[in-house]
């Protein structure tokens, strides 16, 4: 193998800048999904996580950013899948990319850009990026051999392989992590001197402790960087892989599919002309199975062309089904389209974001979905809205007035100026809900959306307890004092519901819209940047007080029933 040239490492340019606030533009991205088969629950989970972050940022009044997704359409796996399906790679990609766009639209993913790696603008960006790598001395041509995994489109070292029996019972090497078969490959390829970037990558992560979130994944990457970091093969012989972007100036080679795919994060912001207006303000949402590509290969490639790594890499784990890994061979791949049909769009989104914990694998089964959605959306939230706006409780169909004499403000010493009707638990509820918006914002920022939803769910339960504790249906409206207290109970309950509806907009947009519309909260009043709670308790005016409620559209969320049809097995190509 010929000796590689020295690489010009960037000096002081690889550290990412501070995370962008609402006043800065941001690129938020999902991975571009591999177009060799239809979408499953894992793809939609990545997209729903990113979508919730994108919606929440918009509701905070942020400068409009870009939210990108798309399909990765090159590589040996695509080439083989097309041959097996009796079609051409372009025809397969056209069909599968359409399935992904349809699935993401059906899941209410509010993407602004959908990238296909077969698009001319992306191809041009990849070729320019390759040229920058070459001109910077990061590439050299050499003979390479090793175990190649087509399913994962990467070479694997011996340490990551185990022996297992093939379909005939013969021992064969497979990936220890995924079980995919590997085959020995020897080629003359272009190599990227990844080994030169071990220390710059370590420095980047030491200087940016939140660059990879959750923190255990950052520690995993640091452990990888303590090991040997061999140079990376970044091309394949074109005679073996014609389906891909050719290496500029060398018609015998095809650019490695992962280099091709990763550059989508630059092509979507106008590389090589206008990317500087955005980069490195980029947050990538990725699954843990592609962490090494995003947290080692991608930052190193960027450093090699003089660009900083992305500001954040947000990593999530996988979904299992009844404790088993999803697999076509097991027939347990979950079809997101069937889930949306069975559990409703908001029901499915809520389940994924409420149960999905990024740092550990989560288990899917129908009973869990039905129980969670019925308990928290249909019964707790829906029941509270229905009871507090029903004609028997609120015959005027208005946002009633708050009485400071019934619910006097607590002083610094924990006492009130005068005796009211509110008890200690009521003050605890008010304090809990008042602190909720900031807690939810912090959980979104730290990529813990499930904790935000836990907090909202707790508050909804506490508000139901408040309503039940004071039994407004027992109060005598003919007594002016009782009427004041009744109106105050309803006012506090509706204020709580308004906060929950506002905070749930990024997660369950249709359900949140129904809550806010019923409370007559206008579109221009739904931003999170100026969200206040119970201003009358603080002695300030409430713009909703006395306002007529919106139309009653019936149940907020219909209870789910267990179905005999399980949403297992993706749609066939």
Q: Indicate the Cα dihedral angle 87, 92, 94, 96, nearest 10°.
A: 150
**379-548: same fold as 27-138+197-230+256-316?**
no
For the stretch 104-158, pLDDT in tens is 999 999 999 999 999 999 999 999 999 999 999 999 998 767 787 777 667 777 7
The fold of the 27-138+197-230+256-316 domain, in CATH, is Rossmann fold (3.40.50)
- The pLDDT value recorded for residue 183 is 75
Q: Which residues have a Cβ under 8 Å from the Cβ of 507 and sit 6 or more positions away?
A: 52, 349, 350, 353, 449, 453
Helices 198-207 and 215-226: crossing angle in degrees, nearest 10, is: 150
Instruction: Name the pLDDT band for 564 (thresholds 50, 70, 90).
Output: low
How far is the C-alpha of 366 from the C-alpha of 347, rounded, in Å? 12
Q: Are 241 and 83 in contact (CB under 8 A)?
A: no
Is residue 23 pLDDT above 70, yes or no? no
The CATH classification number of 379-548 equals 1.10.730.10
Bridge partners of residue 211, in order along the sequence: none
Is residue 570 pLDDT above 60, yes or no? no
How far is the C-alpha of 174 from the C-alpha of 206, rounded, in Å? 34
- The pLDDT value recorded for residue 156 is 75
- Predicted model pTM: 0.91
Is residue 569 pLDDT above 60, yes or no? no
- The pLDDT value recorded for residue 20 is 53
> Residue ranges per domain, the chain?
27-138+197-230+256-316, 379-548
- State the pairing for strand pair 154-156/139-149: antiparallel
- The pLDDT value recorded for residue 398 is 95
Q: How far is CA 48 from CA 352, 506, 568, in A?
A: 8, 9, 19
Instruction: Name the pLDDT band for 179 (thresholds 50, 70, 90).
Output: confident
Q: Hey, how many other C-beta atoms are within 10 angstroms of the C-beta on 274?
A: 10
Is residue 397 pLDDT above 70, yes or no? yes
Q: Any idea which of 29-43, 179-193, 294-308, 533-547 has the lowest mean pLDDT?
A: 179-193
- The pLDDT value recorded for residue 157 is 75
For the stretch 342-353, pLDDT in tens is 999 999 999 999
What is residue 122's DSSP assignment?
H
Q: Is the peptide bond before 397 cis (omega within 30 degrees of 0)?
A: no
Residue 43: helix, strand or coil by DSSP?
helix
For the stretch 483-535, pLDDT in tens is 999 999 999 999 999 999 999 999 999 999 999 999 999 999 999 998 999 99
Instruction: Name the pLDDT band for 198 (thresholds 50, 70, 90).
Output: very high
Instruction: Name the pLDDT band for 22 (thresholds 50, 70, 90).
Output: low
Q: Are 244 and 254 in contact (CB under 8 A)?
A: yes
Q: Is 461 exposed, middle or buried (0-12, 13-18, 19+ CB in 10 A)?
A: middle
Is residue 415 pLDDT above 60, yes or no? yes
Q: How far is CA 140 from CA 152, 192, 470, 508, in A?
A: 24, 7, 76, 50
């Amino acid at each position: 193998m010929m000796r590689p040239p020295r690489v010009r490492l960037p000096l002081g340019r690889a550290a990412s800048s501070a995370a962008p606030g609402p006043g800065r533009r941001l690129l938020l991205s999902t991975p571009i999904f591999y177009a060799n088969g239809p979408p499953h629950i894992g793809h939609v989970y990545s997209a729903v996580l990113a979508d919730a972050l994108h919606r929440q940022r918009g509701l905070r009044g942020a400068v409009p950013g870009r939210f990108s997704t798309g399909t990765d359409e090159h590589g040996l796996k695509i080439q083989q899948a097309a041959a097996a399906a009796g079609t051409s790679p372009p025809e397969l990609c056209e069909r599968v990319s359409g399935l992904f766009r349809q699935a993401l639209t059906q899941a209410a993913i509010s993407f602004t850009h959908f990238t296909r790696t077969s698009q001319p603008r992306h191809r041009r960006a990849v070729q320019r990026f390759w040229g920058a790598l070459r001109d910077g001395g990061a590439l050299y041509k050499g003979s390479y051999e090793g175990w190649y995994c087509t399913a994962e489109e990467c070479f694997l070292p011996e340490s990551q392989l185990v022996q297992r029996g093939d379909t005939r019972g013969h021992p064969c090497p497979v990936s220890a992590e995924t079980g995919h078969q590997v085959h020995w490959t020897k080629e003359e390829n272009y190599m990227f001197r990844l080994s030169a970037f071990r220390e710059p990558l370590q420095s980047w992560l030491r200087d940016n402790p939140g660059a990879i979130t959750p923190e255990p994944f950052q520690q995993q990457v640091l452990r990888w960087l303590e090991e040997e970091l061999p140079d990376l093969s970044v091309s394949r012989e074109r005679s073996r892989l014609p389906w891909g972007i050719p290496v500029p100036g060398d018609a015998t080679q095809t650019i490695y599919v992962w280099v091709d795919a990763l550059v989508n994060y630059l092509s979507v912001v106008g590389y090589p002309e206008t990317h500087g207006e955005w980069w490195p303000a980029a947050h990538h949402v990725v699954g843990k199975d592609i962490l090494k590509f995003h947290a080692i290969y991608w930052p190193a490639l960027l450093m090699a062309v003089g660009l900083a790594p992305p500001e954040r890499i947000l990593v999530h784990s996988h979904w299992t089904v009844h404790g088993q890994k999803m697999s076509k061979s097991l027939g347990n791949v979950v079809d997101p389209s069937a889930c949306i049909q069975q559990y409703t769009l908001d029901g499915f989104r809520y389940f994924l974001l409420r149960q999905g914990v990024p740092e550990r694998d989560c288990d899917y089964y129908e009973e869990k979905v039905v129980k969670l959605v019925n308990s928290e959306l249909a019964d707790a939230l829906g029941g509270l809205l229905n009871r507090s706006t029903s004609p028997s409780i609120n015959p005027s169909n208005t946002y009633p007035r708050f009485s400071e004499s019934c619910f006097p403000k607590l002083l610094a010493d924990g006492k009130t100026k005068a005796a009211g009707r509110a008890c200690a638990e009521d003050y605890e509820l008010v304090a809990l809900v008042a602190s909720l918006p900031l807690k939810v914002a912090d959980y979104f920022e730290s990529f813990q959306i499930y904790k935000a939803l836990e907090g909202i769910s707790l508050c909804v339960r506490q508000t139901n307890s408040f309503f039940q504790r004071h039994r407004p249906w027992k109060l005598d409206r003919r007594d002016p004092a009782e009427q004041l207290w009744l109106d105050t109970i309803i006012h506090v309950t509706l204020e709580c519901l308004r906060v929950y509806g506002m905070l749930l907009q990024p997660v369950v947009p249709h359900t949140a819209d129904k809550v806010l519309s019923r409370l007559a909260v206008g579109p221009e009043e739904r931003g999170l940047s100026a969200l206040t709670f119970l201003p009358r308790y603080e002695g300030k005016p409430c713009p909703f007080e006395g306002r007529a409620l919106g139309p009653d559209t019936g149940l907020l969320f219909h209870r789910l029933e267990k179905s005999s049809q399980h949403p297992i097995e993706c749609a066939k190509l």
